[in-house]
Amino acid sequence: MTAPVARHGLDRPFDGDRFLTTDEVAQRYRTNPSTVRYWRHVGYGPVGEKFGRRVLYRESDLIRWEQEKARNGSAA
**Nearest-angstrom CA–CA distance, 24 and 26:** 5
Torsion of CA 60, 65, 67, 70, to 10 degrees: -160
Number of domains in the chain: 1
Q: pTM for this structure?
A: 0.73
The CATH code of the domain that includes 25 is 1.10.10
| 52-73 pLDDT tens trace | 999 999 999 999 999 999 998 8
40-53 residue pLDDT tens: 999 999 999 999 99
Asked if the structure places residue 5 within a domain, the reply is: no
Classify residue 33: in a domain, yes or no. Answer: yes
Provide the domain limits for residue 50. 17-71
